[in-house]
Structure 1
């Protein structure tokens, strides 16, 4: 399961930060510690096993009572996770549970 793999790699420090993720995190005032917390303690709300180059997932967690989404890919062969982006979901795109995308 992707969740277990991501938790394991984050706890081992085997996390790589994509340039896009770091740029967006700076723009959005999101810290690496927040992203790590969401990946370890948050909920995997979407899983995309056929994504390329690696299976990916969308995690939801709360930092200071504010929802945070983190998109991460998992390279199981080399045992690394890749943070793709992080953002605060909004009600324009998600239902109030911040798990369900609006249609």
Structure 2
């Protein structure tokens, strides 16, 4: 997925949150403006072109000094086939899964 296409959808308001992403952002006390700001200043750090649920990616953005990960994919309109950006999940990367915001952590026993 292309970060410029993602940012364009955010600017147009052509995006939606999954129920899971909505729950996760509320648990991390992130409001929609903060999410939009993180995406607009963000970058794709992982692409998942062959995900069985459809093409998606992991974006790293920041809310102030706090790193935020956003998994995003495309949702297609049932009647017209138009693409809408779907925010699948939102979370703050933490050990042990993440060594830092860009590197996955080692396996735990």
Q: Cα RMSD (Å) of the superposition?
A: 1.7
**Whole-Å separation in 2 of the counterparts to 1:40 and 1:49:** 21
TM-aligned CA deviation for residue 75 of structure 1: 4.2
Which aligned segments of 4 or more residues in structure 1 are displaced greater than 3 angstroms?
none
Unaligned runs of 5+ in 1: none
1:87 counterpart = 2:67 = no
Unaligned runs of 5+ in 2: none
**Match in the other structure for 2:16:** 16
Residue 102 (structure 2) aligned to one of 88, 93, 99? 99
Higher strand share: 2
- Output the TM-score relative to the length of structure 2: 0.82
Paired residue total: 102
Work out which of the two has the higher radius of gyration on C-alpha atoms and give 1 or 2. 2
- Output the TM-score relative to the length of structure 1: 0.87
1:32 counterpart = 2:32 = yes
